[in-house]
Amino acid sequence: MQTSPLARARGVLFDMDGVLYNAEQPIAGAAEAMAWVRAQGIPRLFVTNTTSRSRAVLAEKLARFGIAGGEEDILTPPVAAAEWLRAHAAGGAVAVFVRPATRAEFAGLDLLDDEAERGAAYVVIGDLGTHWDFRTLNRAFRLLHHNPEARLIALGMTRYWLAADGISLDVAPFVAALEHAAGRKAMVFGKPAANFFHAAAARLSLAPEEVLMVGDDVEADVRGAMAAGLAGALVRTGKFRDADLEGAPHPDLVIDSVADLAAAWNYRYFTNRTALPRSL
């Protein structure tokens, strides 16, 4: 019998918002599930497309919800993009459209003044939330328009997320507008880009096919991971909708919440690493 992708997994990537908590409300059983993962010695990393908060703030939030994890246990698009820019952006000015707390991740780079409309070699777009307005979006367009060689960098391509007051636009719609207006495609750092999942797997010292991604976004988290060679588990929390199960490919695993991960993980061993049912 063919071994399922889930049965090959040795490490786990966890999305945060929608999987471990919803805004300021912890998901029931999430802290216990994370404690079980640590107790089992399973390599794990928290991966999020959040660009509005620093890793220090995210780590503090995990701690408030009883989940152990330092900054080094969290991979965000700003961290991945900043590492790439430090290696490739020598001599090129960088315009960052991120919140002040996230700007610190780009320390050491040649950052353009926030009022400049020319001179950028790289234009980095993150989630500004309610700080987006026409002037800000138009400034990003002008930076791209005035330099046809400027690279557009997207910190993730998540379409929307579940905020405290309801479904809200994320970074992807703003990147799409700039791609259309400037006539160039963005380089994406974050889910669902394969290089982001591969970078996360490398941090666990595992091959992509040895890693399970657990998320609530069927496209950015689950199908993105599966396309990158990882196994994908979808939780029925956060932004999950029943319609998410209608498309293809089907997730390797569907569970009610991350609290059910231990049962699913153990099941594959009790069945000698054979295929799991798609829902538990």
Among 1, 193, 162, smallest CA distance to 81 is for 193
Q: Is the peptide bond before 251 cis (omega within 30 degrees of 0)?
A: no
In a domain, 252, yes or no: yes
pTM for this prediction: 0.81
Residues 204 and 262 placed together within one structural domain of the fold: yes
Helix (H, G, I), strand (E, B) or coil at 160: strand
Cα dihedral 21, 26, 32, 34, rounded to 10, equals 30
Distance of CA 266 to the CA centre of its chain: 26
pLDDT of residue 273: 39
Asked whether residue 55 is assigned to any structural domain, the reply reads no
Same domain, 247 and 261: yes
What digits encode the pLDDT tens for the residues 166-194? Answer: 888 889 999 999 999 999 999 999 899 99
Looking at the fold, whether 38 and 88 belong to one and the same domain comes out as no
Do 98 and 137 reside in the same domain of the chain?
Answer: yes
Same domain, residue pair 166 and 238 = no
Residues 39, 85, single domain; the answer is no
- Where residue 247 falls among pLDDT bands split at 50, 70, 90? confident
Residue 276 has pLDDT above 60, yes or no: no
Domain count, the chain: 2
Q: Are residues 81 and 24 in the same domain?
A: no
Within a domain: residue 90?
Answer: yes
Could you tell me the CATH number of the domain that includes residue 87? 3.40.50.1000
167 contact partners, CB below 8 Å, separation of at least 6: 160, 161, 239
Whether 112 and 215 share a structural domain:
no
Mean pLDDT of 247-251: 91
Same domain, 110 and 19: no
What residue numbers bound the domain in which 213 lies? 5-49+192-270
- 45 lies in the same domain as 127: no
Structure-token pair, residue 178: 């700039």
Question: At 90, is the pLDDT very low, low, confident or very high (cuts 50, 70, 90)?
Answer: confident
Indicate the pLDDT class of residue 278, thresholds 50, 70 and 90: very low
- Among 42-51, 57-66, 167-176, 268-277, which stretch is predicted with the lowest mean pLDDT? 268-277
Assess whether 216 and 196 both reside in one domain: yes
Sole residue written with tokens 């609530």:
216
Give pLDDT, residue 3: 62
What pLDDT score was predicted for residue 167? 86
In the chain, beta strands by DSSP E: 11-14, 21-22, 25-26, 44-47, 74-75, 94-97, 122-125, 151-154, 160-163, 166-169, 187-188, 211-215, 231-235, 253-255
Neighbours of 165 (CB within 10 A): 7
Instruction: Name the burial class of residue 133, with classes exposed (0-12), middle (13-18) and buried (19+) by CB atoms within 10 angstroms of its CB.
Output: exposed
Where a domain ends, among 162, 188, 214?
188
pLDDT, one tens digit per residue, over 116-163 is 999 999 999 998 888 999 999 999 999 999 999 999 999 988 888 777
Residues 15-48 have pLDDT tens digits of: 999 999 998 899 999 999 999 999 999 999 999 9
For residue 277, pLDDT beyond 60: no
The answer to the question of residue 67 being in a domain is no
Q: What are phi and psi of 187, to 5 degrees?
A: -85, 125
CB 136 within 8 A of CB 94: no
According to the model, what pLDDT value does residue 7 have?
A: 82
If asked whether residues 211 and 164 sit together in one domain, one would say no
Residue 230, in any domain of the structure: yes
Residue 68 lies in a domain: no
The answer to whether residues 73 and 45 touch, using CB atoms and an 8 Å cutoff, is yes
Among the candidates 168, 188, 208, a domain finishes at 188
Q: 145, 165, 188 — which closes off a domain? A: 188
Examine residue 81 and state whether it is found in any structural domain, yes or no: yes
In this structure, is residue 180 part of a structural domain?
Answer: yes
Distance of CA 243 to the CA centre of its chain: 21
Q: Please, what is the Cα angle at 85 between 79 and 88, to 5 degrees?
A: 145
Q: What is the pLDDT of residue 161?
A: 78
Task: With CA atoms as reference, report the closest residue to 123 among 108, 133, 134, 138.
Answer: 138
